[in-house]
Amino acid sequence: MAGSPQHRQQSRPNFRARQLGTLLLLVALLAMAVFVGARALGHASPTSTTTTSTTTTLPPTTTTTVDPGGLPQTLALPPSSNASLEVRLMPLWHAIQSDNLGLAQSVFFPESAYVSMKTGQIPNPQSDYALRLLAFLKLDLATYHQALGTAPMSVPLLEVLGQPSNSTLIQPNTCENNVAYWYQPRLRLVYRIGGEIHSFGIASVISWRGVWYVIHLGPNPRPYDVGTLDLPAVGTGAPGPPGGC
């Protein structure tokens, strides 16, 4: 049944209002969809500033250790004052305190240099180095360690005594060596246990490229293959005497 003219006139604005409301709802939904889509795609707003950071990874640092024994010998005389000898031989003292063979080897004559010096002079330099020099170093190190008593780590090194005038240049083709080197006999390691001063010797140090290295900690030669202190003494003792090779 058709409505009255008055009813039709009243319903027309309501219809238009519903159309406007529907349009506004569609616009709102469209705006929300655009906003959500932009967020999902990671789009920045026109007023935002995008900053790009670049991370640079540096290549790993490598340390190359050069074997001094693989370099040619020089005839430079190493520093021979007591102060310089103490600095040079402090690792040996720490090795004696801890009976640490690896630490002692840091100031022991390099195998490569020994092979260079002995090739053509003795039958098998590599074997002699391992089975005689290092074997005696290990035996002697334990004996020197025991000499420091029951608390070796607390025993201080007071000084290293040497005599620069005892340094001797050993010429090639002498003492079964084909390369020249400097030699210094019987440095003294002076230490204190309690209130008493003691010392023992380093049988010989020799040079390679201007640096002193221990070649014999205990005496060489010796009558028995056992660890042996070199000239232990109460008091400082005296370095030397000169001579030998």
| pLDDT tens, position by position, 29-73 | 555 554 444 444 444 433 333 444 444 444 454 455 889 999 999
pLDDT of residue 21: 56
What are the phi and psi torsion angles at 22 (to 5°)? -65, -40
| pLDDT tens, position by position, 98-134 | 999 999 999 999 999 999 999 999 999 999 999 999 9
Nearest to 118 by CA among 243, 220, 221, 215: 215
Determine how many CB atoms are found less than 10 A away from the CB of residue 96: 28
Indicate the domain borders of the chain: 10-40, 71-234
Cα 147 vs. chain centroid, distance in angstroms?
29
Write down the H helix ranges in the chain. 5-41, 82-98, 101-105, 111-118, 125-128, 135-147
State how far the Cα of 8 lies from the Cα of 2, in Å rounded to an integer. 9
| pLDDT tens, position by position, 78-98 | 999 999 999 999 999 999 999
Q: With beta carbons less than 8 A apart as the criterion, state whether 184 and 162 touch.
A: yes
Q: With beta carbons less than 8 A apart as the criterion, state whether 140 and 69 touch.
A: no
